[in-house]
């Protein structure tokens, strides 16, 4: 062999039957980090043998999700490589050849047992409280008998002939896991329709792609002894295994949609920054030391090792993701965030495309005001919406503030008059000063003036500092909304006849 024999080669092997699941993304990340740390090769292989359930859209979602996370693969779809094809559906000829080899060497055999017989057998074994296993009836059929049946066209499956003894998985995370071969039935490697089963395809691919380390979810651990038996029977080197404990939702349940979004695409759409997602994913099961919580991509590559992976299930903690989301929003520059939020504002129909350039400084001011408070980009869009559109709805608390003292409507109109003259030269502090003067003159507290003011301007009960908001909102919209205050208050049930709660 060339020096490739010393190169670490790992793979991520998703089945394109749905979205890129959080658990899958974590597996991909661990493989990626391990490869980068070891100077190895990261292969992406698409396990699309389930033709019914595999879709091009799911495949695209997986590739998009990986690109969003920056998990660039060295070999695989769209990038090629010299161990292809990288789609299982294009490798079926090779699997058949492997099965033929197994039959020839006697490591596998044809089984002609009918579905009825197998059902009967299962029932008997269950009734006798025995393990439900194929009883190996066809294992010792004579060669002539087999040939005659094949000649007749009798349907058959191909089964692997499991030998005596035990099969040991020396797992880098779980340690030594011993399986008694008694527990492994003579499993099917090729179905009656000629298609191969998952275990055979994976072994064919892992050996064909010269995979040295298989890092995958613990749900595959029970497949591993079968795969090891196949590697040995094929005379191929057995890769080193590392099985990662699963992710649990609160209450130790298997992670499901009940626990919040479990697809990477959803978080991508919400505009979580990739660095937040990476930190969220990596820490579900891996730690470096007791202290460090936040890692740059470079630090992860430098510090990652399989030793740091826990054997116990990781917890799915969305509060942590929110915390990380906010942390990374604060790390980015306002210019960066504006670059990222701009297209979303255009897509939301709030901003004409060219205005993303011509009104850049204005956009940056509003982004700067929200940066500290948001976790993702769609929250920015949501929270700056009022700069573009007069509110038509008022949050319950905002509506309540407007109903509280209906006469504040007139005060807000008066405030509009004060501001109108010198809006441009008035910075936020000067405007606040004017508001204070008005509140004294009208004996209305600042709070009772400003809360309704915030409500008519933004529709919300909560915003960045009000006078900063006004400065960004601009004269025209501010005047219009303040002057509409009496009307708005009336429409919300305040004022004449309205209840002041
Ligand atoms: N295609 C399998 C899955 O999506 C992965 C198989 C493997 O990693 O060996 O679960």
216 lines ligand 1 (CB under 6 A): yes
Catalytic residue, candidates 37, 123, 254, 257:
257
Nearest residue to 61 (alpha-carbon basis) of 205, 233, 348, 266: 266
Share of the chain above pLDDT 90, in %: 89
Q: What pLDDT does residue 500 have?
A: 42
Predicted local confidence at residue 498, as pLDDT = 42
Give nearest CA residue, ligand 1 atom 3: 14
Is the N-terminal amide bond of 85 cis, ω within 30° of 0? yes
pLDDT at 1: 40
Q: Cβ distance 263 to 57 under 8 Å?
A: no
Q: Is 202 in the pocket of ligand 1 (CB under 6 A)?
A: yes
pLDDT of the residue at 501: 42
Residue 160 buriedness (CB in 10 A; 0-12 / 13-18 / 19+): buried
* CA-closest residue to ligand 1 atom 10: 14
- Is the shortest distance between the CB of 75 and ligand 1 below 6 Å? no
Can you give the length of the chain in residues?
A: 501
- Cβ of 159 closer than 6 Å to ligand 1, yes or no, is no
Cβ(82)–Cβ(187) below 8 Å: no
What was the pLDDT predicted at 40? 98
CA of 214 to the centre of ligand 1 (A): 10
By alpha-carbon position, which residue is closest to atom 6 of ligand 1?
13
User: CB-based contacts of 337: which residues, under 8 Å, 6+ apart?
Assistant: 329, 367, 371, 377, 380
Question: Hey, whose CA ends up nearest to atom 4 of ligand 1?
Answer: 14
Residue 214: left if φ>0, alpha if ψ -120 to 50, beta else—which one? beta
For the question of residue 37 being annotated catalytic, the response is: no
Q: How far, CA to CA in Å, does 212 sit from each of 14, 42, 207, 240, 244?
A: 18, 11, 9, 6, 17
Each residue of 352-390: pLDDT tens digit? 999 988 999 999 999 999 999 999 999 999 999 999 999
Q: Which atom of ligand 1 is nearest to the CA of 202?
A: 9
289 CA distance to ligand 1 centroid (A)?
30
pLDDT for position 426: 74
In this structure, the residue with its CA closest to atom 7 of ligand 1 is: 13
Q: What is the pLDDT of residue 105?
A: 97
Rounded Cα distance, 306 and 310, in Å: 9
Question: Are the C-beta atoms of 384 and 367 separated by less than 8 Å?
Answer: yes
- CB 122: neighbour CB atoms within 10 A? 13
13 lines ligand 1 (CB under 6 A): yes
Residue 217 CA: which ligand 1 atom is closest? 8
pTM (two decimals): 0.92
Q: How far is it, in rounded angstroms, from Cα 328 to Cα 332?
A: 6
CA of 434 to the centre of ligand 1 (A): 66
C-alpha of residue 27 to centroid of ligand 1, in Å = 10
Q: Is the Cβ atom of 205 under 6 angstroms away from ligand 1?
A: no
Q: N- to C-terminal Cα distance for the chain?
A: 83
Low-confidence ranges of the chain (pLDDT < 50): 1-3, 497-501
Residue 391 to residue 456: CA distance in whole angstroms? 8
Atom of ligand 1 nearest to the CA of 223: 9
User: How remote is the CA of residue 217 from the centroid of ligand 1, in Å?
Assistant: 8
């Amino acid at each position: 062999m060339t020096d490739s024999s010393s190169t670490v080669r790992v793979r991520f092997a998703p089945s394109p039957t749905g979205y890129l699941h959080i658990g899958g993304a974590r597996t991909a990340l661990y493989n990626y980090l391990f490869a980068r740390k070891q100077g190895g090769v990261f292969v992406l292989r698409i396990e699309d043998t389930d033709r019914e359930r595999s879709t091009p859209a799911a495949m695209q979602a997986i590739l998009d999700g990986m690109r969003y996370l920056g998990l660039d693969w060295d070999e695989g779809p769209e990038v090629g490589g010299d161990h292809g094809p990288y789609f299982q559906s294009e490798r079926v000829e090779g699997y058949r050849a492997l099965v033929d080899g197994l039959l020839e060497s006697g490591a596998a055999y044809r089984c002609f047992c009918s579905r009825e017989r197998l059902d009967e057998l299962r029932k008997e074994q269950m009734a006798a409280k025995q393990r439900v296993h194929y009883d190996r009836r066809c294992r010792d059929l004579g060669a002539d008998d087999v040939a005659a049946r094949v000649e007749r066209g009798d349907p058959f499956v191909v089964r692997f002939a499991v030998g005596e003894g035990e099969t040991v998985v020396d797992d880098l995370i779980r340690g030594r896991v011993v399986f008694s071969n008694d527990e492994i039935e003579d499993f099917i490697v090729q179905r009656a329709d000629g298609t191969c089963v998952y275990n055979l395809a994976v072994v064919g691919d892992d050996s064909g792609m010269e995979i040295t380390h298989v890092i995958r979810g613990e749900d595959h651990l029970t497949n591993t002894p079968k795969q090891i038996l196949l590697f040995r029977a094929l005379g191929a080197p057995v890769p080193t295994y590392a099985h990662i404990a699963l992710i649990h939702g609160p209450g130790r349940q298997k992670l499901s949609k009940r626990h919040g979004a479990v697809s990477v695409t959803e978080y991508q759409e919400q505009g979580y920054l990739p660095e937040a997602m990476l930190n969220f994913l990596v820490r579900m099961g891996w730690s470096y030391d007791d202290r460090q919580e936040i890692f740059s991509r470079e630090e992860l590559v430098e510090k990652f090792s399989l030793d740091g992976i826990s054997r116990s299930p990781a917890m799915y903690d969305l509060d942590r993701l929110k915390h990380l989301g906010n942390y990374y929003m604060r790390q980015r520059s306002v210019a960066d965030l504006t670059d990222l939020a701009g297209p979303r504002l255009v897509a939301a129909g709030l901003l004409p495309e060219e205005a993303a350039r011509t009104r850049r400084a204005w956009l940056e001011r509003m982004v700067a005001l929200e940066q500290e408070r948001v976790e993702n980009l769609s929250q920015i869009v949501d929270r700056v919406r009022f700069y573009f559109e007069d509110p038509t709805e008022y949050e319950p608390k905002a509506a309540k503030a407007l109903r509280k003292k209906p006469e504040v409507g007139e005060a807000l109109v008066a405030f509009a008059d004060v501001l109108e003259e010198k809006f441009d030269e008035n910075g936020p502090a000067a405007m606040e000063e004017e508001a204070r003067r008005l509140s004294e003159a009208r004996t209305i507290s600042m709070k009772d003036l400003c809360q309704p003011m915030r409500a008519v301007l933004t529709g919300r009960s909560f915003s960045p500092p009000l006078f900063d908001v006004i400065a960004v909102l601009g004269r025209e919209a501010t005047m219009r909304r303040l002057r509409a205050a009496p009307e708005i208050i009336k429409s919300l049930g305040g004022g004449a006849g309205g209840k002041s709660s």
